[in-house]
Structure 1
Amino acid sequence: MKTHSQTLIVTKNDLDDLNHVNNVRYIDWVNQIAKSHWQTQAKSHMLSNYYWVLLSHHIDYKHQIILKDTVTLKTYVKACEGVTSIRVVEILVGNKICAYSETKWCFINATTNKPSRITTEIIDLFQ
């Protein structure tokens, strides 16, 4: 599986009233890294002809993340079948997984706005 990563520094805007990263921010990060992975791997004709929509989202929070922590967002596609894929996102500080997410995405044809079977060409981008 091909992984894709980004690094960021936690700012005050990421925090909740308890001074750790707000759970809504984790969801933003999961979406951000998924979008980045698609946009950096897909060819221009893929980007103009297809897009992904989120069907379900599950996240396990394991350790808190606080102000000024350096966070690594790491993602990979765990499985593709039919019109859906399962994407994993690990949110790490150092080597410690602070959150683990699995999201189910549906592959959509941009012309019809209907689900489209994930082709071998698309699967090969992530395997």
Structure 2
Amino acid sequence: MKLRIPDADVLWADLPDTRRHEQTVTVQPGDLDDLHHVNNTVYLAWCEQVAREHALRLGMGTDALSALGAVPVARQHIITYHRPALLGDQVRVRTALTLHAGVRSVRAYALDRVNPGDPEGGVRLAECQTEWVWVDPQSGRPKRAPAPVSAAFGFDG
């Protein structure tokens, strides 16, 4: 399945708090590549980090999900890079859980530089979308997310 990256800003405003999360990171020397900007893999690590923090905020960290019998594993990441982040930049990383049905969940991410002097809302650095598949932690086989997981992330219906 080829994923289309949605407009994360529109999604952000329309979603309940349980379906979105954000954090700000500061670019460190270890985040840089040989071109002196943030390495591509770091953007993906930040996306995964904000998703984990979102789950933890809702009481749905890995231990809790394992106890419920289903954990998410990444199936596909799509990242579009717009401009580089540099040493010392403040980067706001947002995630929005956009789809949750059966064994699949999809998250959209927006990464914006939010340094002093940047425009209100920041400067878009990258967008990402990840398709997650829910699996049984024992067998590794696909499994529907349990009802408490759906409810915690705001998918009650």
TM-score under structure 2 length normalisation: 0.73
Residue of structure 1 in register with 2:81 after alignment: 61
- Residues 18-67 of structure 1, C-alpha deviations (whole Å, 9 max, x = no match): 11100011111111112222222127643433311100000000121100
Quote the RMSD (CA, aligned, Å): 1.8
Residue of structure 2 in register with 1:105 after alignment: 132
Residue identity (%) = 28
Residue of structure 2 in register with 1:46 after alignment: 65
Between the aligned partners of 2:129 and 2:101, the Cα distance in structure 1 is: 15
SS of the equivalent of 2:92 reads strand
Matches within 5 A, 1:1-127: 1=15, 2-41=19-58, 42=60, 45-48=64-67, 49-94=69-114, 95-127=122-154
Between the aligned partners of 1:11 and 1:63, the Cα distance in structure 2 is: 17
Which deviates more from structure 2 when the two are superposed, residues 104-113 or residues 19-28?
Answer: 104-113
Unaligned runs of 5+ in 2: 1-14, 115-121
Cα separation, partners in 2 of 1:13 and 1:120, compared to 1, 3 Å:
same
TM-score under structure 1 length normalisation: 0.88
Q: Is the 8 A contact 2:70 2:144 kept in 1?
A: no
Unaligned runs of 5+ in 1: none
Between the aligned partners of 2:65 and 2:74, the Cα distance in structure 1 is: 18
Between the aligned partners of 2:111 and 2:38, the Cα distance in structure 1 is: 12
Q: Is the 8 A contact 1:88 1:100 kept in 2?
A: yes
Q: Is the 8 A contact 2:95 2:110 kept in 1?
A: yes
Q: How many pairs does the alignment contain?
A: 127
Q: Is the 8 A contact 1:61 1:99 kept in 2?
A: yes
Between the aligned partners of 1:45 and 1:8, the Cα distance in structure 2 is: 26
SS of the equivalent of 2:78 reads strand
Q: Is the 8 A contact 1:72 1:92 kept in 2?
A: yes
SS of the equivalent of 1:115 reads coil
